[in-house]
Structure 1
Amino acid sequence: MIEFSNQILNEIEQKNRNFHQHKKEYIRHAKEIILWAEPRIEELNQHLKTHQFRTEEEEIHFFKKVKPKIMAIVIFYKEVLRIEVAKPPGKVLQNKYYKNALEKSTEYFKKEPKIYKYYRANAETYDTLYFTRDTQKDVLETENFHINIDSRITTCFDYKIAKIMAAEAIANFIEEQIAHLHQPQKEKPFLSKWQWTGSKTDLTELIYALHTKKSINNGNADIMEIATDLGKLLNIDLNQSIYRNYTDIKSRKITKTKFLDALSESLNNKILEEER
């Protein structure tokens, strides 16, 4: 039974990490985890009905550390599902909605101050009372639902700890959503449909010609900035190669501006053909 519960805990913690790494589709992921977890918890409860722990320490560890972690994750996802399904549209309404949800998420701490302080202090004084099944519990400290719950599968206080852990996780989740609403929208990356199909050296000629002619910002523009922006527009990365390309252009023996001359000739030929 211990091995089975540890397996459930390891698997559900891994699923929980995956959920927080993929911060989209909260509803779908929450449903998947709940549907995965519930039959395993039911199976775990069936084992608990007949299982006898070897020592009191082992029983305390299970009901204080293991089972609450499993249950807290399930409670957390049920609450995430409830919150996200009812979330209104629009940032203003969502901000107000999340703040109300955050206030509600902390109510359990106020309802159970004694056990909350015990949990936060990682205290051990009342572990035998709180986390073993055979001890008589104070009727004032038990949940109403505990009357109808099989005492072989819970000590009541393991559920209280799970609720506290879940409430902390929910508060963190809601705070993340509120912070996300206040983040400035990231600009979408520029995507151009144009593709430069000449050589990098050809484009270098054109860039230097435009710069030399002062056709861009009256010549008050850096060559690399022009190359970078034209590169984005034409889906070609010149990087530092523009300087090397310019050196190659200057070292030509015959015609320095081979591409520009070809451009001029091509345009002149088109004009002459159209005038015939």
Structure 2
Amino acid sequence: MSYQLKIIYSKLEADLTVLKRKNLNSIDEAENAIQLIEQCLSVIQEKLTNHNFCSTIDEINYFKEEFPKIFRIYYYYKTLFNIESQKYFNCISKFQEIEFYSAHIPQLNSIDEDEINLLRESKSTFNHKSKKLYLRKYFKWRRQNLTTAMNETYVTSSISVAIGKRHAKADVIHYLQKKIDDLNNKSTIQKSPLQWTSSKVLLVELIYALSLTGCINDGEVELNQLILHFEILFNVELDNHNSIIQNIKARKINKTKFIDMLREYLSKKLLD
């Protein structure tokens, strides 16, 4: 994937992380996030108008794996904003809030047949049809043959939107379930007793490696989400993690310094 497109999305992740730390109420956070995402989406779509990928596979991978990420967070915050706004005007008691949140979960779990078919196709390996599903030059074919792609443009991929929406629904369900548990007093937030006592650079290297391997949630977790969880776990702030990652990539010698050190320590211990 193009380095330019990566930088644009990485900046959005950093901006959303900063927004998260402001501890705004859900409606204000969602409203601000939507604005940031729409600005980012506008920049990406403008870039895609004239962007040349290295290969057909590279373009397919982008619209299958990377572009859906922005729609995932976009529809997550849009859905969150709608739900929380409705709750504000319709619920005055804890019991009503629990009922309100619970009623939305079945709705989010539903999916229409056209979307199911499109998502099923997204799981297929590369073939002639998969090219027509992902490559920009086939956008007119998609508008004529896929119900979900009727409003698609040259740079807005219907399948990227569908994949992103599906993941967004799962994220919102998780959010609602946590809200319900909090209202039922089933969850308590405890400060972690752990403290990261080494360099922040080394921790970011470790988190980035875990993110790239896809070994957490089968890879269905954003880097900024991992950063937030590790911040809580180790009582540390990593608000400049994107610049740290760029510095790691720019190392002229030993780019995987911490990973190599872990391997060395583990190898010695296993030989004891």
Fold match by TM threshold 0.5: yes
Unaligned runs of 5+ in 2: 189-272
- The corresponding residue for 1:155 is 157
Q: Does structure 2 conserve the Cα–Cα contact (< 8 Å) formed by 1:12 and 1:37?
A: yes
Q: Does structure 1 conserve the Cα–Cα contact (< 8 Å) formed by 2:48 and 2:155?
A: yes
Q: TM-score, normalised by structure 2?
A: 0.58
Per mean C-alpha deviation after superposition, the further-off stretch among 70-79 and 31-40 is 31-40
Question: Aligned-pair distance for 1:185?
Answer: 9.0
Q: Does structure 2 conserve the Cα–Cα contact (< 8 Å) formed by 1:19 and 1:29?
A: yes
Question: Aligned-pair distance for 1:168?
Answer: 1.3
Mapped to 2, the partners of 1:91 and 1:33 lie a distance apart of 27
1:182–1:118 distance in 2 versus 1, CA, 3 Å: farther
Q: Which amino acid aligns with 2:170?
A: E
Partner SS state of residue 53, structure 2: coil
Number of aligned residue pairs: give it.
Answer: 181
1:100–1:160 distance in 2 versus 1, CA, 3 Å: same
Mapped to 1, the partners of 2:24 and 2:9 lie a distance apart of 24
Question: Aligned-pair distance for 1:73?
Answer: 0.3
Mapped to 2, the partners of 1:111 and 1:15 lie a distance apart of 34
Deviations 1:110-140 (A, max 9, x none): 6622334455xx5424532322122333845
Q: Does structure 2 conserve the Cα–Cα contact (< 8 Å) formed by 1:5 and 1:44?
A: yes
1:14–1:182 distance in 2 versus 1, CA, 3 Å: farther
% identity of equivalent residues: 19
Which has a greater percent of helix? 2
Per mean C-alpha deviation after superposition, the further-off stretch among 1-10 and 54-63 is 1-10
Question: Aligned-pair distance for 1:64?
Answer: 0.8
Q: TM-score, normalised by structure 1?
A: 0.57
- The corresponding residue for 1:134 is 137
2:51 matched to 1:51?
A: yes
- The corresponding residue for 2:220 is none
Mapped to 1, the partners of 2:178 and 2:111 lie a distance apart of 20
- The corresponding residue for 1:41 is 41
- Mapping for residues 16-165 of structure 1, pairs under 5 Å: 25-87=25-87, 88-108=91-111, 112-117=115-120, 122-125=123-126, 127-135=130-138, 136-137=141-142, 139=144, 141-143=146-148, 146-150=149-153, 152-165=154-167
Cα root mean square deviation, aligned = 2.9
- Mapping for residues 193-212 of structure 1, pairs under 5 Å: none
Deviations 1:171-211 (A, max 9, x none): 1111111111111697xxxxxxxxxxxxxxxxxxxxxxxxx
- The corresponding residue for 1:217 is none
Unaligned runs of 5+ in 1: 187-276
Question: Aligned-pair distance for 1:25?
Answer: 1.4
Partner SS state of residue 136, structure 2: coil
1:84–1:44 distance in 2 versus 1, CA, 3 Å: same
1:184–1:45 distance in 2 versus 1, CA, 3 Å: closer
Mapped to 2, the partners of 1:185 and 1:40 lie a distance apart of 35
Mapped to 2, the partners of 1:118 and 1:23 lie a distance apart of 39
Q: Does structure 2 conserve the Cα–Cα contact (< 8 Å) formed by 1:109 and 1:164?
A: no
- The corresponding residue for 1:218 is none
Q: Does structure 2 conserve the Cα–Cα contact (< 8 Å) formed by 1:130 and 1:157?
A: yes
Q: Does structure 2 conserve the Cα–Cα contact (< 8 Å) formed by 1:105 and 1:171?
A: yes
The structure 1 residue matched to 2:181, chosen from 179, 182, 187, is: 179
1:24–1:117 distance in 2 versus 1, CA, 3 Å: farther
1:184–1:63 distance in 2 versus 1, CA, 3 Å: closer
